[in-house]
């Protein structure tokens, strides 16, 4: 079986864990994992690694993400979407354009955000959603995230909805963003629908539904380097490529960024992930993938 990534189009109603199970069954393998959990009620891009590529998941999960969301004014829920319990309601009209523009502006850039209690955030080693379902008290600390772009595409006065485009950093909850837009605009709000359109190099227009993947089979698995273009690339001579695979450092003349991972190639073949060590001016292995 081919190693690599599946650009999976998760349908609404399927959990990320179930999506991995679907890929395992379709491809007839055991080793698979996903990057960046997508809520069961949401749809869209879910990167899934199979075989040796599972060791590369951390390098795709931290990339920028893009979403399209529908925000509904009039209520706020404990989960941040329209599937949760209502905690605030209002019959107020939709905020005017100036108020919405101000709310959107206040939530663009580097912001502090508190994830919903029904989320995969770990509290004392347990997921917040599991604690909440067990009726345990849940206090989630706020975190710093970056919203690179937040744009209102359309508004429907009758339905009291906004259609939003969002581009953001890892760890951003769109449910929380919709809730916070409502709070900033003075009218309770919740997320009514969500599609993830992009995770790094994984895009919606090339994602495979479960049915499409079943028809493609192994052809639906792409080489890992296709989805690592956000990383710096370094080509090693063949002899040093073999050294890299054995965990040996390679001295180089170039000065590279020592804080970021580097995709290492030799003879055009992807070998794994390395880092530049400034003290020794060397490339060292971080994750070996192999020929």
Under 8 Å between Cβ of 225 and 58 = no
**Model confidence over 143-185: pLDDT tens digits?**
999 999 999 999 999 999 999 999 999 999 999 999 999 999 9
Domain boundaries, the chain: 4-63+200-227, 65-196, 232-288
Residues assigned a catalytic role = 39
Question: For the domain bounded by 232-288, which CATH number is listed?
Answer: 2.30.130.10
For residues 42-68, give the mean pLDDT: 95
Give the residue from 100, 120, 104, 95 showing the smallest Cα distance to 173: 120
Residue labelled with tokens 């073999």: 242
- Domain 4-63+200-227 CATH superfamily: Pseudouridine synthase (3.30.2350.10)
Residue 135 scores a pLDDT above 90: no
Instruction: Just give the CATH number of 65-196.
Output: 3.30.2350.10
CA 1 → CA 6, 38, 220, 289, distances in Å?
Answer: 13, 26, 11, 15
Predicted local confidence at residue 5, as pLDDT: 98
Domains 4-63+200-227 and 65-196 share a fold: yes
pLDDT computed for residue 134 by the predictor: 58
Give the confidence band of 83 by pLDDT, cuts at 50, 70, 90: confident
**Placement of tokens 């089979």 in the chain:** 217
């Amino acid at each position: 079986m081919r190693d690599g990534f599946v650009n999976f189009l998760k349908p609404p109603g399927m959990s990320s864990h179930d999506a991995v199970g679907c890929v395992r069954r379709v491809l007839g393998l055991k080793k698979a994992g996903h990057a960046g959990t997508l809520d069961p009620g949401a749809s869209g891009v879910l990167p899934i690694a199979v075989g040796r590529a599972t060791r590369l998941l951390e390098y795709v999960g931290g990339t920028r993400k893009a979403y399209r969301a529908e925000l509904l004014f009039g209520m706020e829920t404990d989960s941040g979407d329209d599937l949760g319990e209502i905690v605030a309601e209002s019959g107020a009209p939709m905020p005017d354009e100036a108020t919405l523009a101000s709310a959107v502006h206040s939530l663009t850039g580097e912001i502090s955000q508190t994830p919903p209690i029904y989320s995969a955030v770990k509290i004392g080693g347990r997921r917040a959603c599991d604690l909440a379902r067990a009726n345990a008290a849940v206090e989630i600390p706020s975190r710093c995230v970056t919203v690179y772009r937040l744009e209102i595409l359309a508004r429907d006065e009758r339905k009291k909805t906004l259609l939003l485009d969002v581009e953001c950093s890892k760890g951003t909850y769109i449910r929380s963003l919709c809730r916070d837009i409502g709070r900033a605009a003075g009218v309770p709000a919740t997320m009514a629908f969500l599609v993830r359109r992009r995770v790094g190099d994984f895009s919606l227009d090339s994602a495979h539904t479960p049915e499409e993947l079943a028809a493609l089979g192994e052809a639906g698995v792409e080489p890992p380097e296709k989805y690592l273009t956000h990383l710096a690339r370094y080509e090693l001579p063949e002899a040093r490529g073999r050294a890299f695979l054995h965990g040996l450092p390679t001295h180089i003349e170039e000065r590279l960024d020592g804080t970021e991972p580097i995709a290492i190639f030799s003879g055009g073949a992807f070998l794994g992930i390395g880092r530049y060590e400034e003290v020794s001016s060397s490339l060292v292995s971080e994750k070996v993938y192999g020929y």
